[in-house]
């Protein structure tokens, strides 16, 4: 069964191009004041509690989902990608229009290696486009300055001889085929290395002499593994998706952890959000199924984007499918949090 490929231009309603020089962090003039936002949330909460649950599909006409369609879309996501799971949430916070064991979706420990400002750094420096690849401009002379990439043979061939090769823009790599068998390259014999080390180790000599000490075991000494200093520690995020009854769309929530696994404060989470959206469509609210204050991407524009995608499908002769709605949702949300590496649907054909 074919799932149409999602195109990034279908997100332009919600995600304008990244501005060169934009910085992640608190905006100079927030559009949505906290008090206005709280009043709006209170109003929407009251309306949602009084309104009946929609059962009529308006996915094609309005880009919205019924609770049943949301569950079907979530089932499709968890089926295709096992990192996403259904959760039931706190019993006192569950809603009756969703199954008790399918209150919201969650994926945990999603890596976020870079801050959004790293994207700004890349854009601010000179780049060049070569065969649809964005490459940094090179300052090397010769053919590289003309936009032509050097072959591996060129790196090992030209200028490989002569003492001034390196100073004259010579090869980066010099290959020597006989580096093992050439004269003057006799390698030491490592066959008796363990025995030599044991003889030079005072602890091993003490054990062999019956003096006890720290050394123990058949080898006469203990080898301890040193900590790996090269392990890269990054921020991680727990991403969850709930159903917003008022807007009748999915809603994404971000809960971050620093490199030591400690929860991030909201202002630090904003470092991983494009500055265009900080305190505009990205706010801090209590998670509806846990009550924990969590950064959320407000769903007020989600149905507009979904409607645009549905219209594009129809124009291309593709039958719209509501069970694909969360795939599309995650795709355009990735334009708001581009450095949180959850988007694994880019080039997948079903």
Q: 3-state secondary structure string, 206-268? A: HHHCCCCCCCCCCCCCCCCCCCCCCCCCCEEEEEEEEEECCCCEEEEEEEEECCCCCECCHHH
CA distance 14 to 332: 8
Secondary structure string (H, E, C) spanning 57-89: CCHHHHCCCCHHHHHHHHHHHHHHCCCCEEECC
Residues making up the chain, counted from first to last: 350
Residue whose entry in the numeric block shows the structure tokens 């494009």: 274
Q: Which position among 300, 311, 312, 343 bears the catalytic label? A: 300
| Residue 300: active-site member | yes
Which residues are identified as catalytic?
300
């Amino acid at each position: 069964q074919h799932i149409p490929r999602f195109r990034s231009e279908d997100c332009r309603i919600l995600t304008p191009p990244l501005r060169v020089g934009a910085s992640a962090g608190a905006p100079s003039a927030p559009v949505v004041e906290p008090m206005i936002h709280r009043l709006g949330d209170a109003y929407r909460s009251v309306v949602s509690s009084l309104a009946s649950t929609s059962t009529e599909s308006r996915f094609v006409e309005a880009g919205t989902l019924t609770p049943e369609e949301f569950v079907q879309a979530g089932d499709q996501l968890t089926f295709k990608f096992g990192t996403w799971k259904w959760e039931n949430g706190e019993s006192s916070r569950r809603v009756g229009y969703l199954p008790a064991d399918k209150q919201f979706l969650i994926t945990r420990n999603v890596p976020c290696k870079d801050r959004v400002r790293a994207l700004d750094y890349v854009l601010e420096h000179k780049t060049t486009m070569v065969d649809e690849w964005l490459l940094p401009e090179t300052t090397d002379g010769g053919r590289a300055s003309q936009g032509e990439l050097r072959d591996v043979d060129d790196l090992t061939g030209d200028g490989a001889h002569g003492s001034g090769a390196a100073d004259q823009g010579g090869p980066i790599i010099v290959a020597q085929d006989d580096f093992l068998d050439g004269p003057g390259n006799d390698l030491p014999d490592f066959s008796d290395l363990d025995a030599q080390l044991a003889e030079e180790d005072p602890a091993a000599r003490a054990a062999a002499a019956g003096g006890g000490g720290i050394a123990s075991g058949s080898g006469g000494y203990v080898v301890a593994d040193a900590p790996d200093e090269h392990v890269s520690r990054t921020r991680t995020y727990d991403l969850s998706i709930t159903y917003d009854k008022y807007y009748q769309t999915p809603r994404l929530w971000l809960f971050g952890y620093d490199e030591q696994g400690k929860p991030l404060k909201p202002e630090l989470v904003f470092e991983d959000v494009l500055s265009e959206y900080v305190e505009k469509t990205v706010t801090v609210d209590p998670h509806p199924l846990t009550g924990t204050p969590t950064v959320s991407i407000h769903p007020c524009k989600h149905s507009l984007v979904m409607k645009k995608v549905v219209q594009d499908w129809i124009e291309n002769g593709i039958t719209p499918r509501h069970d694909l709605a969360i795939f599309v949702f995650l795709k355009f949300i990735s334009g708001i949090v581009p450095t949180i590496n959850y988007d694994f649907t880019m080039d997948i054909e079903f």
